[in-house]
Amino acid sequence: MSEFAVEGLGKEYDGFAAVENLDFEIGKGEIFGIVGPNGAGKTTTLKMLSGLIKPTRGTITIQGMDITRHAREIKQKLGFLPEESPLYEGMTANDYLMFFAQVYGVEKPVAQARIKEILLALRLDAGSKRLGEMSKGMQRKVAIARALINDPEYLVLDEMTSGLDPTTSKYLVDFVAGLKEQGKTVVFSAHNLYQVESLCDHVLIINKGQELASGTMDEIKEMCGEVEYTIEFSVEEEVGFDAEKVNGNYIARTNELDEFNRITGWVAKNNGSIIDIKTKEASLEEIFLKLMG
């Protein structure tokens, strides 16, 4: 079942097309990643998915509801984390989260229990420290806690780990993976393509507001990636193709299956021995750089 259904989505600002004709679906309980260079339209797309800005054209349907006609109902089910998320620096984390719980209409006993649970899950022991006194990593965790305070069914996260140290970043990635296990649907953007590849069920790659590729990682690799074949072999005959000689053996590399078959066939025909064959799929980063030219 699709949680999100996006058709013909577009957004223009004074004649400039920030997003053009995007179509995709996101299943319930999936993690969906949107990647692209700066200015590709990622944040604009996420804001439209969150109901913060209205599309110029196209439709966004969430749980069967059109986001432009049912914005209030949808926002009750939504948690949104912007890339830049200023906090009320004079408040403590507990007071800040309680304030937003009240905004969402969460009853105080429920909110207190939820705040305790979320801060524990995020390993955030802030005590009486003011938000303005916290590190960037701690502040980011508070912002994520705010996005979760209404126990949303789906989350939209814009550059969740931007500017964080590797340890904090890794922890937050693992935390998001845990949200999927709870049945939550997560949509996020990130510049760290390794995180996207390791987390996401589906990925959308965009540039200049347009789709370049979309699908599971396996589908994107099949459509856009190359497989590198490495063949290590020994043979007495003179090798008539590109091959590196290492420790008395030869190593040949190719991205073409026909060339791979030709090399292995030549080795067999000339009484050689295949010592090792390795295949390496393109990573999301390699595919991304290829698509960006």
Which residues in the chain belong to E strands, given as ranges? 2-13, 16-27, 31-35, 57-62, 65-66, 78-81, 154-158, 185-189, 202-207, 210-215, 227-234, 244-246, 249-254, 273-281
pLDDT, tens digit, 9 for 90 and up, residues 146-183: 999 999 999 999 998 887 888 888 888 898 899 888 88
pLDDT at 125: 83
Give the pLDDT confidence score for residue 1 in this predicted structure. Answer: 56
The confidence band for 127, taking pLDDT boundaries of 50, 70 and 90, is confident
Residue type (1 letter), 266: W
Spell out the residues 6+ positions from residue 98 whose beta carbon is closer than 8 angstroms to its own: 108, 111, 112, 115
- Tell me the pLDDT tens digit for each residue of 172-226: 889 889 988 888 999 999 988 988 998 999 999 999 999 999 999 989 988 888 8
Residues 6 or more apart whose Cβ sits within 8 Å of residue 205: 35, 36, 211, 212, 213, 214, 220, 287, 288, 291
The percent of residues above 70 in pLDDT, for the chain, comes to 100
Query: Residue 144: in which H helix or E strand, if any?
Result: helix 136-148
pTM score, whole prediction: 0.85
pLDDT of residue 117: 92
How far is the C-alpha of 133 from the C-alpha of 92, rounded, in Å? Answer: 10
- Who contacts 43 (Cβ-Cβ below 8 Å, separation ≥6)? 83, 158, 189
pLDDT tops 70 at residue 58: yes
Domains and their CATH numbers in the chain: 2-223 (3.40.50.300), 226-292 (3.30.1490)
Q: Residue 35 corresponds to which tokens in the numbers above? A: 């990647």
Neighbours of 237 (CB within 10 A): 11
Comparing 237 with 85, the larger pLDDT belongs to 237
